[in-house]
Amino acid sequence: MADRHEMWKSLGMNIEQHDVLCSVLPGAVGDVFMSQKNRPKGMDFWDMVVADVHGIRPAELIEEQKKGRKVFGTFCVYVPDEVIIACNGIVTGLCGGSQFWVPDGEAVLPKNTCPLIKASVGARLGKTCPFFRIADMYVGETTCDGKKKAYEILGEDVPMYVMDVPQMKRPEDIERWSHEIAMFAKKVEEFTGVKLTVENLKKSIHIVNEKRKALGRVYNARKNKTLPISGRDSLLMMQISFFDDPERCATMCNKLADELDQRVKDGVSVVDAGTKRILVTGTPLAIPNWKLHNIIETTGAAVVCEEMCTGTRYFENLVDENISSLEDGFKALANRYMKTNCACFTPNTGRIDDIKRMVKEYNVDGVIDCNLKFCCLYDTEKFSVGRALKEAGIPVLQIETDYTDTDAEQLRTRIGAFVEMLNK
């Protein structure tokens, strides 16, 4: 693996601190991923990316910047990648998923902020993540209160554009979101110097749709009784798809899906027959947050689906490619994005419908509903989610956790008891 220190230095990173992170990551990857048996060959690609996660893609992004392209960092699946890609920009996800960044975030944020926000702010201010250094512009959104306020703080350090996401889904809200996308497009045009046209928008919609379809194919393979891939491996693929070039992402996911389809035909499963199948739902699992999946899958169960933004919400529903004007395009985008069911909206009963549907589609035995500590929205929604699932006769375990390991044993007990209950 190439030595990336010169690159990190040129990005103005805090090298000493960052070396600490680099020294713990390989161990974590080894424990969580390499210890698994019978992994699909196609995972080699993601193993390679994660082994050099702060090198391989950042180096590519810097090369593209040299050619004049702009990099946009995003924090939410509501931000329409299509607009950025159409204007020759590059999108990279920026959500922080490690406790490592939390203390730097807590230096400026209240302690009772969700760890995802603390880690994201900490990664920028602590100068310990290359993606946070590389992004030319951050794109925020008015989803939860914690993020809104955090964007104000980040905005003092880096160019920041905030999209106004509606909180309801009435026709006029969808209309408003389409306007908001049009306004965002102006900003992107300005920043990239590339005019948005029906042609380039059509093309970018197609690119992102193909990526969604490819991710969806991998998920489709997980619906089979013969489980061809672990939850941990699928999660890694999903997390990295937020950083990768969308066309390469689609190619790699399609290749993996081909292999998984073949495995299903050949009856190759990564778990023993009868292993209980878990759907996880709740707040996003940003890289390198593998804690929940790791505990579930080392407690004798398998994760077969994530009803999360790092999961089905990222790829379900396609954008209509049949557009004849920009206006059309913005509407098509708004229609697709407003189908994503996030707890920031009220009401959000669509999420419950999604979970119930996926329980059937993915042959799920039990649901684990988990939110990050201090995420008031998903925590509150647990009440209606739990009630609806119980009414439908679907076993559910509701938990809360953060990025530390302090509760790992308690989680192991609860999840273990839940799996024992399903196995009875």
Which amino acid is it at 256?
L
Half-sphere exposure of 145 (CA within 13 A, CB side): 8
User: Can you tell me which of 37, 67, 111, 424 binds another protein, judged by CB under 8 A?
Assistant: 424
Using CB under 8 A as the binding rule, whether residue 31 contacts another protein is answered as no
Measured from the CB atom, the residue of 170 and 424 that comes closer to another protein is 424
Alpha helices in 223-348 (DSSP H): 231-241, 246-266, 291-297, 312-315, 326-337
Tokens of residue 110, six digits: 């209240």
Q: Give min distance, CB of 110 to another protein, in A.
A: 18
DSSP 324: S
Tokens of residue 343, six digits: 């707890």
Do the Cβ atoms of 134 and 395 come closer than 8 Å? Answer: no
Query: What radius of gyration, in Å, describes the C-alpha atoms of the chain?
Result: 21
Tokens of residue 255, six digits: 């290749």
Q: Give min distance, CB of 413 to another protein, in A.
A: 5
Question: Of the ranges 140-148, 165-173, 218-226, 415-423, which one interacts with another protein (CB under 8 A)?
Answer: 415-423
Q: Give min distance, CB of 376 to ligand SF4, in A.
A: 7
Question: Could you give phi then psi for residue 344, rounded to 5 degrees?
Answer: -70, -15
Picked from ligand SF4, another protein, none, the partner binding residue 416 (CB below 5 to 8 A depending on kind) is another protein
Tokens of residue 391, six digits: 């009414």
d(CA 364, CA 225): 10
Q: Give min distance, CB of 303 to another protein, in A.
A: 19
Using CB under 8 A as the binding rule, whether residue 420 contacts another protein is answered as yes
Measured from the CB atom, the residue of 114 and 319 that comes closer to ligand SF4 is 114
d(CA 215, CA 390): 30
Using CB under 6 A as the binding rule, whether residue 238 contacts ligand SF4 is answered as no
User: Can you tell me which of 148, 176, 223, 414 binds another protein, judged by CB under 8 A?
Assistant: 414
Contacts of 61 (CB under 8 A, 6+ apart): 71, 90, 92, 131, 134
Binding letters toward another protein, positions 373-412, x by CB under 8 A: -----------------x----x-------------xx--
Using CB under 6 A as the binding rule, whether residue 372 contacts ligand SF4 is answered as yes
Using CB under 6 A as the binding rule, whether residue 366 contacts ligand SF4 is answered as no
Picked from another protein, ligand SF4, none, the partner binding residue 147 (CB below 5 to 8 A depending on kind) is ligand SF4
Q: E strands, 243-394, where? A: 276-282, 301-307, 366-372
Site for ligand SF4 in 331-360 (CB under 6 A): 340, 342, 344
End-to-end CA distance of the chain: 47
Measured from the CB atom, the residue of 270 and 333 that comes closer to ligand SF4 is 333
Using CB under 8 A as the binding rule, whether residue 112 contacts another protein is answered as no
Q: Give min distance, CB of 395 to another protein, in A.
A: 8
* Unique residue bearing structure tokens 């190439």: 2
d(CA 283, CA 226): 28
Do the Cβ atoms of 226 and 268 come closer than 8 Å? Answer: yes
Which residues is 280 bridged to in the sheet?
A: 306, 368
Question: Of the ranges 2-10, 74-82, 127-135, 187-195, which one interacts with ligand SF4 (CB under 6 A)?
Answer: 74-82
Picked from another protein, ligand SF4, none, the partner binding residue 144 (CB below 5 to 8 A depending on kind) is ligand SF4
Using CB under 6 A as the binding rule, whether residue 146 contacts ligand SF4 is answered as yes
Using CB under 6 A as the binding rule, whether residue 117 contacts ligand SF4 is answered as yes
User: What residue ranges bind another protein (CB under 8 A)?
Assistant: 390, 395, 409-410, 413-414, 416-417, 420-421, 424
User: What residue ranges bind ligand SF4 (CB under 6 A)?
Assistant: 76-78, 114, 116-117, 143-144, 146-147, 283-284, 309, 340, 342, 344, 372, 375, 377-378
